[in-house]
Amino acid sequence: MLFNNKYREEIIEAVFEKTNFCFVVVNREGLVTYLNKNYCDFIEVTLDDVLGKHVTDVIENTRMHIVAETGTEEIADLQYIKGNHMIANRIPLFAEGELVGAVGTVLYKDTEEWKKMNSHVKALLLEIENYQKKLRNPKGATYSLNDIVGSSIQINDIKEKIKKVSSGDASILLEGGSGTGKELFAHSIHHLSERSAKPFIKVNCAAIPVDLLESELFGYEGGAFTGAKKEGKKGKFQLADGGTLFLDEIGDMPLTAQVKILRALQEGEIEAVGTEKTQKIDVRIISATNQSIEELIKENRFREDLYYRINVISIKIPPLKERAEDIRVTAKFLLRKITQRTGKRVVSFSDAVMHFFMHYDWPGNVRELENVIESAVHLTNTEMIELEDLPDHMQQSLYITEDGMGLKEILSRAEKQALLHAIHKSNGDKIKAADLLGIGKSSFYEKIKKYDL
């Protein structure tokens, strides 16, 4: 027989509130719509406090918002919460064929068996981490795919692509603006490759003087030129033999060096400065650029044949402003990283700061975000970063991100700010301030009266 409504409510209450599981439900936007008492007690919150908040602000290391966005279930996933490893299941919720959110369960039992299991998991993870550290040498890759923070579709697609292409030896070109994390992606590719136990060598093609670039890349024989070491010196290609050579900012490489790199890739051999002997090398090339190589080719500043050699596989890294959904989680990750390094206790951002972060353009991408957060950590006197803690150069951008502000108000604020700046710069001399602004004295005084300055 079917249960009536009375029994159905009791069954639902028994399932959600009287079991040893923790339950959470989020909507399509990742906002918490339900958290059962077990979960509330475990993470020490109340249901009223968390309803409507983004799940990443409530549960550490959660992926509920990702499942709610992608519709892909995640079963028996390890999740680290409050110092313990839990087993989490995350199921997408559909209504009439439409994805509307996700429900998550976490197995939480405060029993001796669970403590033993949790300790065992911790021990295994620490053992794996220890093995990884032993494999890494001073010339190895520092970062792995887990260090790339983000849950946007773009970043997840790039991670999946990296997993597919890392095992081979094909040359890879990373394209993206400054600060998008191209070096992290290069490290990750090496880390996942068959060459991970071999050296990872980086060359910043824009930082090495043109006259030294060839010897830096291919090495030199003793006495090859004035000032050369008697014993000679290995170049980056020799140092990377068997591993990966990362050519950062390859668009700035001079044409003379491009010819030799092309030969190294075609023939698998190099020629050190000061010798006619060739040396076989085995390296995988990963290149990165923040320029359009196609435009450089048109300007005869980059060899087309070299471009096709380094661009066997292309990975385009989108700017931060095109994946705003990554800003929240990236900001929190960077805050933890910076506070651990500095030792200063700063735990979160105010809602106003996060709102600003979500609407700011981030021309410097993730690197700019990290610099802004580090500056704010040092400037704040509380455990919460507020708008006034942000660097001076960002204060000028704050007013254009407020909701409901029309063009007229934006222009008025900008005009008032310009007047104040001119008065300050001229030490209160209003005639000089008017000259700085390029307006007449009468017009200047009218504006002073308008804004009551």
Report the pLDDT value the prediction gives residue 251, as an integer from 0 to 100: 92
- What residues make up the domain containing 332? 320-398
Task: Let me know whether 82 and 198 are in one domain.
Answer: no
CATH label of the domain that carries residue 251: 3.40.50.300
- pLDDT at residue 111, rounded to an integer: 40
Contact 27, 101 (CB under 8 A): yes
**Domain count of the fold of the chain:** 4
In angstroms, rounded to a whole number, what is the distance separating the alpha carbons of residues 62 and 429?
57
**Does 383 lie in the same domain as 336?**
yes
CA distances from 263 to 205, 260, 422 (A): 18, 5, 59
**Tokens 């709102």 identify what position?**
355
| Predicted pLDDT at 209 | 83
Alpha-carbon dihedral angle through residues 294, 317, 143, 160, given to the nearest 10 degrees? -110
For residue 239, the model assigns a pLDDT of 94
* Assigned domain for 131 exists: no
For residue 439, the domain's CATH number is: 1.10.10
Q: What is the pLDDT of residue 406?
A: 47
Amino acid symbol at 398: L
Q: Where is the domain boundary, 398, 420, 438?
A: 398
Coil, strand or helix: which one is 405?
A: coil
Q: What is the CATH number of the domain that holds 53?
A: 3.30.450.20
Which pLDDT score, from 0 to 100, does residue 113 have?
Answer: 47
Q: Tell me, what DSSP letter sits at residue 400?
A: G
Task: Report which DSSP code applies to 404.
Answer: T
Do 108 and 201 lie in one domain? The reply is no
- The answer to whether the beta carbons of residues 261 and 203 sit under 8 Å apart is no
Q: Is 20 helix (H, G, I), strand (E, B) or coil?
A: coil
Residue 24 identity (one-letter amino acid) = V
Amino acid at 304: E
Q: Are residues 359 and 442 in the same domain?
A: no
Residue 118 located in a structural domain:
no
Q: C-alpha dihedral over 189, 193, 199, 200, to 10 degrees?
A: -10
Q: What is the pLDDT of residue 213?
A: 81
> Residues 253, 196: one domain?
yes
How far is Cα 351 from Cα 384, in angstroms, rounded to an integer?
10
- Cβ atoms 265, 309 nearer than 8 A: yes
Q: For residue range 218-242, list pLDDT tens digits in order.
A: 888 876 666 667 778 888 999 999 9
Query: Is the residue at 281 inside a domain?
Result: yes
86 - beta bridge partners?
79
pLDDT at residue number 110: 46
Q: Is the domain of 30 the same as that of 90? A: yes
CA-to-CA distance for 281 and 215, rounded, in angstroms? 16
Q: Is 436 inside a domain boundary? A: yes
Residues 160 and 297 in one domain: yes
The label of the residue with tokens 């890349």 reads 217
Q: Do 67 and 97 reside in the same domain of the chain? A: yes
Say what the pLDDT of residue 407 is: 46
Whether 312 and 325 map to the same domain: the answer is no
**CB-count burial class (<10 Å; 0-12, 13-18, 19+) for 335:** buried
pTM: 0.59
Q: Looking at the structure, tell me whether residues 337 and 371 fall in a common domain.
A: yes
Same domain, 230 and 306: yes
Residue 122 domain-assigned? Answer: no
Are 166 and 286 spatial neighbours (Cβ–Cβ below 8 Å)? Answer: no
Chosen domain end from 112, 134, 162: 112
- 172 and 295 assigned to the same domain: yes
Nearest by Cα to 236 from 284, 282, 278, 201: 201
Domain assignment present for residue 352? The answer is yes
Final residue in a domain of this structure, among 316, 332, 366: 316
Position 205: which residue type?
A: C
Give the other-Cβ count within 10 Å of 420's Cβ. 13
Q: Does any domain span residue 172?
A: yes
Q: Report the pLDDT value the prediction gives residue 151, as an integer from 0 to 100.
A: 80
Instruction: Please give the structure tokens belonging to residue 411.
Output: 């222009």
- Using alpha carbons only, how large is the chain's radius of gyration in Å? 28
From 140, 160, 164, 165, select the one nearest 150 (Cα to Cα): 160
| Nearest CA among 121, 70, 125 for reference residue 99 | 70
Specify the CATH number for the domain of residue 355: 1.10.8.60
Burial of 102 (0-12, 13-18, 19+ CB in 10 A): buried
Give yes or no for a contact between 296 and 254, defined as CB atoms under 8 angstroms apart. no
**CB distance 97 to 106 below 8 Å:** no
User: What is the DSSP code string of 131-199?
Assistant: HHHHH--TTS----GGGS---SHHHHHHHHHHHHHTTS---EEEE--TTS-HHHHHHHHHHHSTTTTS-
State the pLDDT at residue 80: 76
Residue stretches of the chain with pLDDT short of 50 = 1-3, 109-113, 115, 119, 137-138, 401-402, 404, 406-407
Q: Which residue bears the tokens 């790339």?
A: 148
At which residue do the structure tokens 């951008």 appear?
A: 397
